[in-house]
Amino acid sequence: MAPTGNPVDTQGIASADIDTQIHEPRLRHSASGQRPDSIDGLVDETWKLHDNDDKPPSEHEPLMDSELVQEFELDDYTSPDARLLVEDANAPKSHHEQDSPYPEVRAAVRNYDQHVPCNTLRAWVIGLMLVVVGASMNTLFSLRQPSISIGPLVAQIVAWPLGHAWAALVPERRFNTFGLAWSLNPGPFNIKEHTIIGVMASVSFSVAYSTDIILAQLVFYKQDFGIVFQLLLTISTQSLGYGIAGTMRKYLVYPASMIWPGNLVGVTLMNAMYEKDDVRDPKVLGGMMPRYRWFLYVTLASFFYYFIPGFLAKCTSVFAFATWIAPQNPVVNQLFGGTTGLSVLPITFDWTQVAGWVGSPLIPPWPAIGNTLIGVIVFYVVGASMLHYSGAWYAQFLPMSDATTYDNTGQPYNTSRVLTSDFTLDHEAYRNYSPLFISTTFALSYGLSFAAISSLVVYTFLHYRKQIWQQYRDSTNEKPDIHMKLMSKYKEAPNWWYMSLFAVMLALGLYTVLAYPTKMTWWAFFLAVFISYGFSLPIGIIQAVTNNQIGLNVLTELVYGYIQPGRPLALMM
């Protein structure tokens, strides 16, 4: 609806043009969205939020896009009259004011909503089927070296033909159950049903930490508490995480600055799958091919290509050609070896070697990748070499890079020789057998993990304390961004639901550790939950901005090794 009275035209846009842009949402299929001269609504709010920071206007905007700082410093904001129009929900706005201030989000996420069914039987059946298959395969493949991870993108691809086949073959019969109308076939398979399936996959495809505990019990400790214990352990630990995540939405989901780069990939794929026009992306072969067709070609090529490093020529997976030249030279193998060496020339033709452990390097912003690369060179290539060749930690008797623990004879450590019948440490047997020895890079990794956790807390306090406090104060009257406005019409799960889930799973977890001989005390259990809850916010902020996740396993191993020594199962839990 066009505004009445004299139109406000502070950007040189006529009111009729504004009206056209509002009622005809611009297509978001191209990744080359043009940057506006000023981003009035959201950027102005971000400026107010960070006007006291040491490096105006914000610490995270330059990380995402250095041009945003220049835009903040411009003085060409709209007039107060136009700002009143922006704040009025029924007033027309330019498309610049109805979009994210972050270029990554603008390129991937649409700024309009479609009215199509989403909570359908079709979505639930296909989603649950893919969840069972994907989670099972990921658990199995996690034991492989290098590991293969089936991500949510695979579920998105597989769900597309399944959903459209359902829409074409299943009869459109409608039912009414207890006043609830539903249908076997609600019509064409749409993007919202597809998104629900993708969400199911994203929250369930990751391998549960409890499987590591269960496998360690069975393989290393020859200990089996039964299927009931395994189910209780898995359900309680996983659901505790959901309860914590729900209470953190205010800080990790609602702010526009929490962009979550990993999620943008799935959103881009979803939009490409449902392109209705032959939209050409200038960044794909110079605009010669639609994005969906380009994606199809790359997917097929990747499928057939993997037969080369995975089956036909496995030597290309770890292409350490320097070790082929001098296979009997220890120094060459230590520096250039891909399995027990530093892999100074990390050449590989196998994508699982690149993305198997830390995820795809195509997703995080370049500053995060560059920072990681500098750390690898400084600490692993240079630091590990200096430590190893100086003989630190008996390095001359051990591999330079390895994740195995050794005894004083150079053999893998036999844990059964130092444990009692109730699986606690036998100090006398430990003294008679051997201390633990680990490789240079393994020891260095432990030290760097402590440094990462310390820097995580300090960085969050220095750069995000004001944003966190502001978000807490303005949680009830905060002005939402465009995507929060679009989602506001949907009923959201209340905080009390997540808190209730957290409380129930807390009780279930406490029962699990006390009802079985885990050797974990009740106060140690609550301390573990407290550590997890306390670090969720800083870890979430770093991952939301850089797509890098920092683990807490090393910190908890140190804490519990000190407060409850000699209890390996309690430490793992």
| Statement to judge: residues 152 and 49 lie in one domain | no
User: How many residues in the chain?
Assistant: 573
Determine which of 11-20, 157-166, 414-423 has the lowest per-residue pLDDT on average: 11-20
> What stretches of 364-459 adopt beta strand conformation (E)?
none
Four-residue CA torsion sign, 77, 78, 80, 85: negative
Residue 518 within a domain: no
**Does residue 424 form part of some domain?**
no
Of the candidates 122, 137, 107, 141, which has an alpha carbon nearest to the alpha carbon of residue 352? 141
pLDDT tens-digit series, residues 325-355? 888 898 898 888 888 888 888 888 888 888 7
Separation CA 114–CA 190 (nearest Å): 10
Q: Does 272 lie in the same domain as 169?
A: yes
Region 462-491 average pLDDT: 72
34 lies in the same domain as 171: no
| Mean pLDDT across the chain | 77
For residue 477, being part of any structural domain is answered with no
Q: Which long-range contacts (CB under 8 A, 24 or more apart) does 447-453 make?
A: 448/375, 448/379, 449/551, 449/553, 449/554, 449/555, 450/554, 450/555, 450/558, 452/550, 453/535, 453/550, 453/552, 453/554, 453/555
pTM for this model (two decimals): 0.68
Specify if 332 maps to a domain: no
**Which of 81, 108, 135 marks a domain boundary?**
108
Determine, yes or no, domain membership for 275: yes
165: pLDDT confidence band, cut at 50, 70 and 90?
very high
Residue 289: pLDDT over 80: no
Q: Are 308 and 349 in contact (CB under 8 A)?
A: yes
Q: Are residues 101 and 127 in the same domain?
A: no
pLDDT in the model for residue 86? 41
d(Cα 313, Cα 243) in Å, to the nearest integer?
46
Instruction: Evaluate if residue 162 carries a pLDDT over 90.
Output: yes
- What is the structure's pLDDT at 10? 35
Cα 462 to chain centroid, rounded? 23
- Structural domain that includes position 78: 15-108
160 shares a domain with 74: no
R_g over Cα of the chain: 27
One domain for residues 213 and 192: yes
Average the pLDDT over 114-122 and give the result: 86
Place of tokens 């195995």: 404
Residue in the structure block whose two tokens are 């411009």: 74
Residue 312 scores a pLDDT above 80: yes
Helix (H, G, I), strand (E, B) or coil at 448: helix
Looking at the domain assignment, is residue 171 inside a domain?
yes
Distance of alpha carbon 339 from alpha carbon 404, whole angstroms = 12
Within-domain flag for 88: yes
Domain assignment of residue 548, yes or no? no
How far apart (Å, rounded) are the C-alpha atoms in residues 313 and 307? 8
pLDDT over 90, % of the chain: 17
Q: What is the pLDDT of residues 347-392, one digit of tens each?
A: 888 888 887 777 778 878 788 788 888 988 999 889 999 999 998 8
Q: Copy the structure tokens of residue 319.
A: 């292409």
Of the three residues 108, 138, 161, the one that is the final residue of a domain is 108
Using CA atoms, how far apart are residues 282 and 296, in angstroms rounded to an integer?
17
Assign 3-state DSSP to the chain and report helix, strand, coil percentages, each to 5. Answer: 60, 5, 40
In sign, the C-alpha dihedral spanning 292, 35, 85, 252 is positive
**Is the same domain home to 265 and 140?**
yes
Domain identity same for 132 and 185: yes
Nearest alpha-carbon partner for 212 in 553, 444, 441: 553
pLDDT tens digits, 493-522: 888 999 999 999 999 999 999 999 888 889
pLDDT of residue 140 exceeding 90: no
Asked if 157 and 100 sit in the same domain, the reply is no
Q: How many folded domains does the chain comprise? A: 2
Does the pLDDT value for residue 102 go beyond 90?
no
Instruction: Kindly state whether residues 94 and 128 are assigned to the same domain.
Output: no
Same domain, yes or no: 22 and 141:
no
Residues 27 and 151 in one domain: no
pLDDT, tens digit (0-9, with 9 covering 90-100), for 390-441: 988 888 888 888 888 899 998 999 888 888 887 788 889 999 999 999 999 9
Q: Which of 147-151, 391-395, 475-479 has the lowest mean pLDDT?
A: 475-479
Structure tokens at 16: 């009729």
| Phi, psi for residue 425 in degrees, rounded to 5 | -70, 130
Closest residue by Cα to residue 501 from 239, 185, 173, 207 = 239
Q: Which of 308, 337, 370 is the last residue of a domain?
A: 308
SS3 call for 298: helix
